Structure formats: structure tokens, C-alpha cells
Chains A and B, each alone.
Chain A
Amino acid sequence: MNRDQIRSKIAELLGDITDNDDLALTDETTADDVDGWDSVNHVKLIVALESALKIRFDSDEITAPDNVGALVDLIAEKLPSA
């Protein structure tokens, strides 16, 4: 998966969780920019990413990814390199 594909996956899952069908994310998007991306939904997003991508997050890692780009980087590190 490349960075764009990871970002789309995040958008898809976060869109499901926050009931937003056409959620568009850029690397610069922060939680504050997205309606409904609160701390409860953040944990749900992380757990949804875990099962969709077969990865595992440590709670230390998820407290404050500054923006979507940082989350994409974190996921990229966890995925087996293609």
C-alpha cells in the first residue's frame, strides 16, 4: 500500500464512523477539521484500521498524531514493505 492508498483507507473508515460518505482528507487535515472526529471515534478508527490492515497500535502511538499525514506515516511503518 502506498501513502495515497493508506490515506484513502483512513478516509473510508473514518467516513463510516462519522457518517460522512464523501470525507476528503489531506496530510494536513487534523481531528479538529473533521466533524465527529472526537476521542471516542479516534479509538474506533484505530481499532478499525487494526482489523482492516492487520496491524496493531500501541496506545502510546495513538494519543496525538498531529495530523492525517502523521497517522499515514505511522501506518506505513507498520505495513510489510511491498
Chain B
Amino acid sequence: MCKLMDAEQFPSLARLTEAILAVWPQHRRYLQSNFAERDTDMLRHSERLTAMILRLADSTEGGLPALATDYRFLCEKIILPEEMHFRRTNAYRLTRFDDALEQVYSRKEFMTRYMNGLLVSDVIWLNHCRCMKHYADTFLPGLPEGASLLEIGPGHGLLLCLAAERPGIGEITAWDVSEASLDASRHSLEVLEAKRTASFRQVDIFDRSQRRENDLFDAIVLSEVLEHLEDPAAALSALFDLTRPGGRVWINVPANSPAPDHLFLLRNADEATALVRNAGFEVVESVVYPMSGVTLERAKREALTVNCVVVGRRPAH
């Protein structure tokens, strides 16, 4: 059978897609049309991201084959049942954090597979991949020289690594409520031999008592976090307090994106923009990336998954 990706031009993508097809041959048609949607610039970005993912894969148990298996598990066993629930009821299954904690976060083995699958989705699912590209190619280069950056909820740490690779970014800080996520992102920076490290701290975004007086940042990143929260508006207002006047936030939040630990159902991009604005930010930019194989119009009409990226600015005065 013909190879999906040209191994000379895109060696990492070729390796990853072959690993996926080895455990999931029925995914070929999806992958084919999915990559046909990408122009050269997008393919280059995908290749860069995949090279990072492959190095992380080498350092995880089971290596690339395990990662590919977990990606299939994510699509078929984790997301599909939630998709069906969403189509039946027009709602996410869970709305309370305690339930997500019990059913998802506390199940260690499940979480590992879930996170591995999501790591692969960051390059395979076009909406995820485009967000990463916006972050690396638009947001980071647009920050002023020496800008301090805080990421809240770095998870696997891919965005943190992109920031650490970017010359001109100042001090980098990472906060997460989960010790496991902090370990994972620390590990990613090490494995990818990032140009520098970050300072890590276990912080719950809602807990003001954990803040320190000098906690003020030029740039704050919140990616795929709001949909996990019971009160996204309160989180954004905490973010506002942490942003230095004139500083910027990069918010990435999916709409119509059922998952076992998604609590907050955003219906469209306008709602995302309104949330950021209502927290006090000026909206500098707002972009929407539909899921693979779907136009923006269709996504709107049929309430399909899109990722909303909103860049906000805290007014200088």
C-alpha cells in the first residue's frame, strides 16, 4: 500500500502516521483527507510538532506504538461515547468537577492513555494543530522582548516547550493544580532539551491564597483548560488580575467538544470572545478552527467541534 506521507520531506509525520496505521488501518481514509487539507506551511508546522512528539514518545513506556494505540483508544473509546451522548442530549455528560475527579482524573492508568492520545491529537486533529501553529507563529513572535510568560494548566507541556524554544521570551512560569501534570511538563522540557527551563508551582487558579505579591505577568497562556472548569468566568477574572496592565493572554477553548472531563459547554466562538471581554480584557484577535474535514459553516450549522483562540489585552490603565 502506498505511503501516506513522503518520508524524505516529512520523516516524522511519515513515522507517526505509519505507527497509527499499524494499529488502526481503518483510519487511512481519515488521515489521507486530513493531510490533504494542509498547505506546505501547515505541513512544515505539523512536521516540527511531530518531531517533538516522537522524542517524547521515545521517553514514554511502550514508545511510539503505545502512543498510537492510545490515540486510537482516545478516538474510539473515550471521545466516541461522549459524542453519542452529546448528539442524544445536546449536553456534556458531566457538569461537576467532583464527578470528573472521580470518573476521570483519579484513574491513573486511564489518564495516562488519555493524555498520550491527546498528545498525538495535537498534530493529527486539524483544530488542535492549527491552535499550536497560531501560538508558535503568531502569538509568541508578537510578544515584546523579554516578556515574562505564565502558562496555567500546561498538561503535557508542548506549548511550554514552544515558548522555551522561542528567543526573546523572558522568564517562564508554569502553574498546574495537578502534580502529575507539572511532572509531565517538566519532563517534556528535559526530554526536548529546551533552551531553558521554567519555574513550576502547584497552584489552583481559583485559590487566591496561593498567590504571591509579585505574581504579575506580561503574557498568560490558558489552553484547553476553561472547558474543564465549573466556573470559567471566575478563572478568567483571576487571569485578569495576574496580567500586567498592557499584557496579553492567549486563550484556547473548544466549543461543542464532548469529552469525559469537559464540564463547561461553549456553544460558539462568540461566547468565547464574550467571556474574555467580560473579564475586562480588550479582544485583540479571535480565530476559530473547525475540526478536520469540516468547514466553518458546517461546524456552525451542525454544532461540531471548533477551537476558539482569543487573544486578549489588559488595558494599560
CB distance from B14 to the nearest CB of A (A): 24
> What's the Cα separation between A64 and B26 when bound, in Å?
9
A43, B87: Cβ atoms under 8 Å?
yes
Closest to B305 in A: A40
Closest to B302 in A: A40
CB distance from A13 to the nearest CB of B (A): 13
A39, B84: Cβ atoms under 8 Å?
no
A46 on interface, CB distance cutoff 8 Å: yes
B81 on interface, CB distance cutoff 8 Å: yes
CB distance from A7 to the nearest CB of B (A): 22
B80, A63: Cβ atoms under 8 Å?
yes
Within 8 A of B (CB), among A22-75: 32, 38-40, 43-44, 46-47, 50, 57, 59, 62-64
The proximity string for B residues 77-105 relative to A, scoring 1 for CB distances below 8 Å and 0 otherwise, is: 10011011001100000000000000000
Name the B residues within 8 Å of A40 (CB-CB).
293-294, 302, 304
Within 8 A of A (CB), among B15-41: 26, 29-30
Partner among B29, B84, B294 whose Cβ is within 8 Å of the Cβ of A43: B84
CB distance from B214 to the nearest CB of A (A): 48
> What's the Cα separation between A50 and B87 when bound, in Å?
11
Partner among A32, A47, A62 whose Cβ is within 8 Å of the Cβ of B88: A47
Interface residues contributed by chain A, number (CB under 8 Å): 14
CB distance from B28 to the nearest CB of A (A): 10
B76 on interface, CB distance cutoff 8 Å: yes
Partner among B29, B76, B302, B304 whose Cβ is within 8 Å of the Cβ of A32: B29
A44, B29: Cβ atoms under 8 Å?
no
> What's the Cα separation between A47 and B85 when bound, in Å?
9
CB distance from B293 to the nearest CB of A (A): 6
> What's the Cα separation between A59 and B87 when bound, in Å?
12
CB distance from A57 to the nearest CB of B (A): 7
Partner among A32, A38, A59 whose Cβ is within 8 Å of the Cβ of B84: A59
Which of A32, A40, A44: most chain B CB closer than 10 A?
A40
Name the A residues within 8 Å of B304 (CB-CB).
40
> What's the Cα separation between A40 and B77 when bound, in Å?
16
Closest to B80 in A: A59
Closest to A38 in B: B293
A sample of 10 cross-chain residue pairs with beta-carbon separation below 8 angstroms, ordered by A number, consists of A38-B293, A39-B30, A40-B294, A43-B83, A44-B87, A44-B302, A47-B87, A57-B84, A62-B84, A63-B76
Closest 8 CB pairs between A and B?
A: A59-B81, A47-B87, A59-B80, A63-B76, A43-B83, A47-B88, A43-B87, A59-B84
